[in-house]
Structure 1
Amino acid sequence: MTQYVYRFGGGVSDGKGLSKELLGGKGANLDGMASIGLPVPPGFTISTPMCTRYYEEGEKFPPELNAEVASGIAHIEGVTGKKFGDASDPLLVSVRSGARVSMPGMMDTVLNLGLNDATVVGLATVSGDARFAWDSYRRFVQMYADVVLGLDHGAFEEALEIAKEDKGYYLDTEMESEDWQALVAKYLALVEELWGKPFPQDVHDQLWGAVGAVFGSWQSERAKVYRRINSIPHDWGTAVNVQAMVFGNMGDTSATGVAFTRDPATGERAYYGEYLINAQGEDVVAGIRTPQYLTTAARERAKAKPLSMQESMPVVYAELAKVFDLLEAHYRDMQDIEFTVERGKLWMLQTRSGKRTAKAALKIAVDMAAEGLITKDEAVMRVDPSALDQLLHPTLDPKAKRDVIVKGLPASPGAASGIAVFDSDTAEKRADKGQSVILVRTETSPEDIHGMHAAKGILTARGGMTSHAAVVARGMGRPCVSGAGSLSIDAAAKVARVGSREIREGDMLTLDGSTGEVMAGEVATIQPELSGDFGTLMVWADGSRRMKVRANAETPADAKVARDFGAEGIGLCRTEHMFFDAGRITAVREMILAEDEKGRRVALAKLLPEQRADFVGLFEVMAGLPVTIRLLDPPLHEFMPHAEADFEDVAKATGLTVDMLKRRAAELHEFNPMLGHRGCRLGVTYPEIYEMQARAIFEAACDLAVSPIPEVMVPLVATKRELELMKAVIDRTAEAVFAERGKRIDYLVGTMIELPRAALKAGEIAEVGAFFSFGTNDLTQTTLGVSRDDAARFLGVYVDQGIYERDPFVSLDIDGVGELVQIAADRGRATRPDIKLGICGEHGGDPASIAFCEKVGLDYVSASPYRVPIARLAAAQAALATG
């Protein structure tokens, strides 16, 4: 019989040694902390397979789960000495989610479960604090109504504000026990009014309702968006953790807090965190109250007045510090920890590998390797390649003028400029139109996940360094300024005010997430310094890497950026990008609209020196490294004139009339140009185009002192014969140039594999081509029958429905397109064992796709210049993972 419930705490560790895949991250780590003797409130975990089964059975629980859950409750009762539902000394529990990877704030939690009209009286008696008991009941009813019953959260918040106003209170902490008791009565009445039934008084009904709600939140819209953004499979499911409650809101000797064993923003080896006296955990995470600093050093740096935990609770802080060191040594990684102090006793509620900025990830990995805590290879594996993107872009120029409007907490480093927007839907819509936006909120919630992802930066009026906005922004690599307390936000009116100044929707803002400053207008930036920990880790990565990493680049400027980032050549130079230059587009159009070869050659003669100069620039930057040049690929319609003035320019250049040119344009019109007259089909019908480009390549190569290694790539080949014809043109042109220049250079001729037929017939094509470069952008389009330009309308739904695990244009479709790549590689090698194999589509910068390329045994990947370091690290991780 399958086991679904695993107990922990009180000397029991049912899940010892079991994986996060089974217990979820929270459950595995709770069990892990209990197994090494840390003070963990007893509880049990309902495993992730039950989540899958719950959905398979129509969101119902199998009967056999009843006995296992009952056993789990009995375990907690035995350790605590309390009884679930006992009116005299009640056991209260928390019910929390716990997926195998951290999804902060995305799924639901219920606290104080087990309170009802009878047990609240017993809690008041046994605790000696009626105010605490009724406040806890109030919190439970409000949370349960929201999370489990799905009732309007705002209605309860409104009732709370009215209750405070009636008594003249400003803060929740001013309310007395009779105030909370009266508010509970209002809450219970609200539940009956909105739900149509009384609030559940049976504690077992409460428990099953909460467990179902946590499982249900796995399929909430915010959780789906978060999984899509972070490439988390939808079929993983979540575990549920039921645990005895401990209370940080039992007076001045109680507290709750969130801490990191190292600074998650900088990686500095210093305890980092916040705490609140007389509070529950959600008060810290939600930013409802402004938290205090954990350490005295942090408080003094911030010039804050409230005492640090180190000062106010020195004995408990000392115990906590020992736990930090123990956990970091045990898990061999920086830990994100939640804790509660109940009347002077420390309880550990959670530990997990903490989310961190890219800068912090690098420093922590390098430092831990230096400390001997992990190996250099482990350090390489610790840094998310995609996170390096945070380090590869400009930061604010310290010399630039700054019109600082307000200052908050530096919650997530980096800098961003954009127009202010006040809700997540608007942020997403504006970003979809190509606008840079700053999301401005009083505080963020999990429902804001789509807006936070769309925004360039996030600004909140409330919340601390461990608030929802801060944690999620750091994980996404978005700059974030939180806790800008003097900022008054009216989201409905779409305006924020600081003193006499106003920020309205559409106003340009700049955030500095490293200082907490918010500035009016756009501030100048500077390029990042890529040395220190970054350089150290990349040296280690290169030592572990097998595949080469090249760049997709067409200009010397892009090529230099790529080489500075460690590119080992150019894997794709798209020559059509050069043709769009304003100074030569007329000649390109003249060539296209010419009615015969003579007319085309006249136009091509004008382009030759320009094209030769292009290649000289690239070859000089990449001196001695391979440069793969793709001959003209796109359909001619992309260059065609449309405006009357464009036709007049071509008419002047050719001596033809505008009417004649328009007639010629109509003759060239195609209904589906992306599958029409493009790629090598242009070379077959108009070989003089590829002849001009080949001449430009070889003349440029011969004119340089340091000979480059040109690799001439023929696009959109489907048959061996096409490549034979084009190679003959290239070889003939090369020999002519070598004779003219009196110099020979080595070069290769190959093709881009971007059609399914080419992949299947790769064995034949390899008889002619010396290299294959997989153009996975078009190969994905032609294999799936999906237009990349139009797919955004429905691919999000496809990912949500599990049709594709990820967007196949972002991360390679391994099962379909990947199989074609494997077939082509195998058949190409069978014909030509020394064939060079690479990938140059956008997937060349995607870590998951790079891992597949390593498995296939490709020789290199090629990525956009700013993704070259990402590809270097991902290639190293792929090599280490495959042994």
Structure 2
Amino acid sequence: MTEAKRTQGAEQGKRFYDRFARKEWERNSGQGLDLTGLGELAAGKGVTHEEALLLLAQPDDIESILAQRLGAASSDEASLQRLLSWSDGQRRLRVTSRADSVARACAGLQRGAQGIGLLRGEELLRDESLLAVYEAWLSCTEDEEERKLKRGRLVYLWTESWIRLLQAADGKPCSVSLAWDARQAAAPEERLALQDVQLEAMFRAMLRCDQEEIPFELALLALWPMQEEEWLAVYDFIEEVGRQTLGAWWPEAHCKVGALLHPDVRPVDAAGIARSADLVVMDIESASRFHLLQEQQPLGGPARIIELEEPVSDWGGPALQCSRLEEIVDIMRSIKPELDIRAGGDIRPADLRAVYRLGMNEVCCEPEWLTAVRLTGYRLEASQQSAASADEA
């Protein structure tokens, strides 16, 4: 990006560029890449040099190259999978998949995701059979007995959906946020009622999986806690529903509790949340805590972030330009150095430099971008190691 372009850009974009335009990240991600290991892999494990050279392709071109190559010969699929498995072992960045349904979760896992990085709690309610029961429960406000019956039906159907999700994950980590419905934005007690149903259904699904010896690793994410007190209240709420639903089995349930943090959170509050959270997912899909989708799509969750007047597309998505984000991650790392901090949303290869610079160790992306993100992540890490070695020499 030229100096003139920086001068003309939005102030937010300029702050972002200044923060990430460090010498080491200005290097081309393909230059200085040590291909010795790839040569050994090609010679000893059957990965072709042509497939290995995917690491030198432009990230945005990787998926189109794969579409052409994998349509040519079935042997290319095995070769590619060996290459991807090798890069996963070399790369420290954990790459997970974004999902909004069981089908999308399966698609991501089949493409090599190391888990389901973010599924918003309300998204499974879009299933036709679930949505009809949910709508009936939501609208039943006069007859308490009828409402209880509809609640029980909703718990049963939602439990079956969570079981299918955990079966699809097959023991890989799965992170789910507490549900949000825009129609209930002004009624906290109704949101708690929805989340209570969600938690009961999820805990019953966990118990079923345990009884049927289906492996699972589930993390529940508090939705947008803005203060430590709010986070602790949600944590206690999850614990209470867990004890009420599972009784004596709850302490053995192996359920992590983390937070889906909005970038608007103050760094000091993020530090307080990090003290007791098992993991943190930064919600880069949201522009404002109360900026939701249109009412005709109330179960859509938070809206995507508003684009800048002049997006800095070469350096990452606008969500990663939040002025507080670097400070938030830094202070959480100072409190708990080993805390898993994930960039949750639709991360793409162009975002990875910002992710590394911010110090996050996990990302979440759409299934279609998994291969490119996995390979680009390795390229950036290998390039950085080569640059560091050269500087030392």
Structure richer in strand, relative to its length: 1
Deviation at 1:530, TM superposition (A): 6.2
Correspondence for 1:811: 317
CA distance in 2, matches of 1:869, 1:851: 17
**Is 2:344 aligned against 1:837?**
no
| Cα gap change, 1:601 to 1:545, in 2 (>3 Å) | farther
Q: Write the deviation string for residues 117-154 of structure 1: whole angstroms up to 9, x where unpaired.
A: xxxxxxxxxxxxxxxxxxxxxxxxxxxxxxxxxxxxxx
- 8 Å CA contact retained: 2:313, 2:350: no
Deviation at 1:752, TM superposition (A): 0.9
Counterpart of 1:772 (choices 262, 280, 284) is: 280
Correspondence for 1:851: 353
| Cα gap change, 1:593 to 1:529, in 2 (>3 Å) | farther
Correspondence for 2:161: 614
- 8 Å CA contact retained: 1:574, 1:632: yes
Q: Write the deviation string for residues 536-585 of structure 1: whole angstroms up to 9, x where unpaired.
A: 43234223210111111244432332222111111112232211222222
Deviation at 1:731, TM superposition (A): 0.7
> What is the identity, as a one-letter code, of the residue corresponding to 2:356?
E
CA distance in 1, matches of 2:142, 2:273: 31
Correspondence for 2:170: 623
Aligned residues between the structures: 339
**Is 2:217 aligned against 1:709?**
yes
Correspondence for 2:120: 574
**Is 2:243 aligned against 1:735?**
yes
- 8 Å CA contact retained: 1:690, 1:730: no
Correspondence for 1:603: 150
| Cα gap change, 1:539 to 1:380, in 2 (>3 Å) | farther
- 8 Å CA contact retained: 1:392, 1:528: no
Two-structure CA RMSD over aligned residues (Å): 4.2
SS across alignment from 2:122: helix
CA distance in 1, matches of 2:174, 2:191: 24
Counterpart of 2:369 (choices 867, 877, 881) is: 867
- 8 Å CA contact retained: 1:774, 1:840: yes
CA distance in 1, matches of 2:291, 2:152: 40
Deviation at 1:532, TM superposition (A): 4.4
Q: Write the deviation string for residues 170-224 of structure 1: whole angstroms up to 9, x where unpaired.
A: xxxxxxxxxxxxxxxxxxxxxxxxxxxxxxxxxxxxxxxxxxxxxxxxxxxxxxx
> What is the identity, as a one-letter code, of the residue corresponding to 1:811?
G
Deviation at 1:635, TM superposition (A): 0.8
CA distance in 1, matches of 2:384, 2:303: 31
**Is 2:50 aligned against 1:542?**
no
CA distance in 1, matches of 2:203, 2:273: 24
Structural mapping, 1:30-109, within 5 Å:
none
> What is the identity, as a one-letter code, of the residue corresponding to 1:566?
G
| Cα gap change, 1:867 to 1:619, in 2 (>3 Å) | same
SS across alignment from 2:129: coil
TM-score normalised by L of structure 1: 0.34
Correspondence for 2:58: 384
Deviation at 1:838, TM superposition (A): 0.6
| Cα gap change, 1:615 to 1:392, in 2 (>3 Å) | farther
For structure 2, the residue ranges without an aligned partner over 5 or more in a row are 8-29, 32-36, 44-48, 293-301, 386-393
- 8 Å CA contact retained: 1:716, 1:752: yes
Correspondence for 1:639: none
- 8 Å CA contact retained: 1:690, 1:729: no
**Is 2:291 aligned against 1:744?**
no
Deviation at 1:839, TM superposition (A): 1.5
Deviation at 1:389, TM superposition (A): 2.1
- 8 Å CA contact retained: 1:773, 1:838: yes
| Cα gap change, 1:546 to 1:534, in 2 (>3 Å) | same
Structural mapping, 1:644-723, within 5 Å:
676-677=185-186, 682=188, 686-704=191-209, 705-723=213-231
Correspondence for 2:15: none
CA distance in 1, matches of 2:283, 2:74: 31
For structure 1, the residue ranges without an aligned partner over 5 or more in a row are 1-20, 22-47, 57-332, 334-352, 354-364, 394-412, 416-511, 515-526, 637-667, 669-675
CA distance in 2, matches of 1:834, 1:590: 44
**Is 2:271 aligned against 1:724?**
no
Deviation at 1:633, TM superposition (A): 2.2
> What is the identity, as a one-letter code, of the residue corresponding to 2:130?
R
CA distance in 2, matches of 1:789, 1:774: 13
Structure with the larger RCO, 1 or 2 (CA within 8 Å, 6+ apart):
2
Deviation at 1:737, TM superposition (A): 3.3
SS across alignment from 2:176: strand
Deviation at 1:832, TM superposition (A): 3.2
Counterpart of 1:821 (choices 322, 325, 336) is: 325
CA distance in 1, matches of 2:333, 2:242: 26
| Cα gap change, 1:750 to 1:529, in 2 (>3 Å) | farther
Structure richer in helix, relative to its length: 2
Q: Write the deviation string for residues 421-463 of structure 1: whole angstroms up to 9, x where unpaired.
A: xxxxxxxxxxxxxxxxxxxxxxxxxxxxxxxxxxxxxxxxxxx
Deviation at 1:835, TM superposition (A): 2.5
- Structure (1 or 2) with the larger CA radius of gyration: 1
CA distance in 2, matches of 1:547, 1:621: 23
Structural mapping, 1:316-335, within 5 Å:
none
**Is 2:99 aligned against 1:553?**
yes
| Cα gap change, 1:555 to 1:805, in 2 (>3 Å) | closer
Correspondence for 1:244: none
> What is the identity, as a one-letter code, of the residue corresponding to 2:207?
C
TM-score normalised by L of structure 2: 0.72
| Cα gap change, 1:370 to 1:388, in 2 (>3 Å) | same
> What is the identity, as a one-letter code, of the residue corresponding to 2:61?
A
Correspondence for 1:484: none
> What is the identity, as a one-letter code, of the residue corresponding to 2:226?
A
| Cα gap change, 1:769 to 1:876, in 2 (>3 Å) | same
Deviation at 1:763, TM superposition (A): 1.0
SS across alignment from 1:571: strand
- 8 Å CA contact retained: 1:369, 1:379: no
- 8 Å CA contact retained: 2:263, 2:325: no
CA distance in 2, matches of 1:607, 1:717: 26
- 8 Å CA contact retained: 1:391, 1:528: no
- 8 Å CA contact retained: 2:231, 2:273: yes
SS across alignment from 1:703: helix
Q: Write the deviation string for residues 57-82 of structure 1: whole angstroms up to 9, x where unpaired.
A: xxxxxxxxxxxxxxxxxxxxxxxxxx
- 8 Å CA contact retained: 2:226, 2:266: yes
| Cα gap change, 1:769 to 1:603, in 2 (>3 Å) | farther
